[in-house]
Amino acid sequence: MSGTSTSAGKRVGIVGASGYTGTELLRLLAAHPDLDLVVATGDSKAGTRVADLYPSLAAAYPDLVYTAFDAVELDGLDLVFVALPHGISQTVIPEFRGRVGHIVDLGSDFRLHDPSLYPTWYGNEHPHPDLLGEFVYGLPELFRDQIVGAELIAATGCNAATAVFALTPLVDAGIVHPDGLVVDLITGVSGAGRPPKETTTFCTVDENATAYGLLTHRHTPEIEQAITERTGADVSVLFTPHLVPMNRGILATCYGQPTGGATTQEAIDVLRDFYADSPMMVVGEASPQTKATTGANTVHLTARVDPRTGLVMAIAALDNLMKGASGMAIQNANLALGLEETSGLPIVGVYP
């Protein structure tokens, strides 16, 4: 048994705890006042001590060992986080759905509501299209009411979340046209996951910046879906991510055509008003920095209206492993379980 809890909090498990998002979940759960870790699976590292793979977790989990996935081990848990690579959640979740109280999937397997989009953007048919309509899209600042008490939650992708946070308020307020939106985004290497890849080796990434997923990145329909569902507008987005040599962090610079004569201050005020009830959103005039969000479950935002080119620009920064993944998953779990939304989530970044 991989459990470490002796308190009376909500009993939770992590399926896929040995990757970067699973590791970040372990870090956050160690300090969460209401969630108690019971199971941490990691098939590729089964039998390995967590402290041996990640010494940073040794103080919190000196004896915790990764176990192989077994749905029986999850029986009766209040909530299970699924932190698996794309394509695996959709085969695993049906095995224990109904045997646990709630599921928060950090992967992309259940984010899109329309099953016809999966062959186009992911290359194959979805094996459980009937489940897509049962998952709530886990972006609390936009869909909080739907997440409260939800059984099945598909947490937002890190790239998609950053773009959606920046653009949704402006589309919702009618400041920018919903079609022809442009998102240029830079992201750190941890977004590609822990397993080594040719594109993420040190010699490839160091002193290098490259655009990828040109015109075909799978987060594109997710961005369009989220903004459309929140605003009711028919949204189209050109999304281009860029890999840069930093461990973690995302910065999205987004552009739209204005609908009228809004000023920079009005655009910033729109962001501030939209997120007035969201304590983890930091809106101001300063240009957002990825470093300011490191280790925190916050998003930093600003906006500009350029009278010379006539374009509206919105910028958002977040930590891809926190607000872009594991921190957001905890936030979703808090809402699903009826806990304080911000419980166990740091809002102060690590600096320098």
Q: What is the rounded CA–CA span in Å between residue 282 and residue 280?
A: 6
Report the pLDDT value the prediction gives residue 5, as an integer from 0 to 100.
43
Cis upstream peptide for 288 (omega within 30°)? no
Q: In the chain, where does the domain assigned CATH 3.30.360.10 lie?
A: 159-320
Report the pLDDT value the prediction gives residue 203, as an integer from 0 to 100.
87
Report the pLDDT value the prediction gives residue 195, as an integer from 0 to 100.
78
CATH 3.40.50.300 fits 159-320, yes or no: no
DSSP H helix total and E strand total for the chain: 11, 13
Report the pLDDT value the prediction gives residue 65, as an integer from 0 to 100.
97
Separation of CA 10 from chain center? 22
Report the pLDDT value the prediction gives residue 191, as an integer from 0 to 100.
84
Q: In the chain, where does the domain assigned CATH 3.40.50.720 lie?
A: 10-156+324-336
Residue 254 annotated among the catalytic residues of the structure: no
* Residue 69 CB contacts under 8 Å (≥ 6 apart), including other chains: 15, 41, 43, 92
Report the pLDDT value the prediction gives residue 6, as an integer from 0 to 100.
42
Report the pLDDT value the prediction gives residue 118, as an integer from 0 to 100.
95
Report the pLDDT value the prediction gives residue 196, as an integer from 0 to 100.
75
Print pLDDT tens along the chain (352 aa). 344 444 479 999 999 999 999 999 999 999 999 999 999 999 999 999 999 999 999 999 999 999 999 999 999 999 999 999 989 999 999 999 999 999 999 999 999 999 999 999 999 999 999 999 999 999 999 999 999 999 999 999 999 999 999 999 999 999 999 999 999 999 999 888 777 788 888 889 999 999 999 999 999 999 999 999 999 999 999 999 999 999 999 999 999 999 998 999 999 999 999 999 999 999 999 999 999 999 999 999 999 999 999 999 999 999 999 999 999 999 999 999 999 999 999 999 999 8
Report the pLDDT value the prediction gives residue 4, as an integer from 0 to 100.
45
| The one catalytic residue among 158, 171, 175, 339 | 158
Reading the block at residue 142, the tokens are 């936009």
* Residue 266 CB contacts under 8 Å (≥ 6 apart), including other chains: 175, 305
Give 318's strand partners.
250, 299
Reading the block at residue 138, the tokens are 């886990």
CATH number of this structure's domain 10-156+324-336: 3.40.50.720
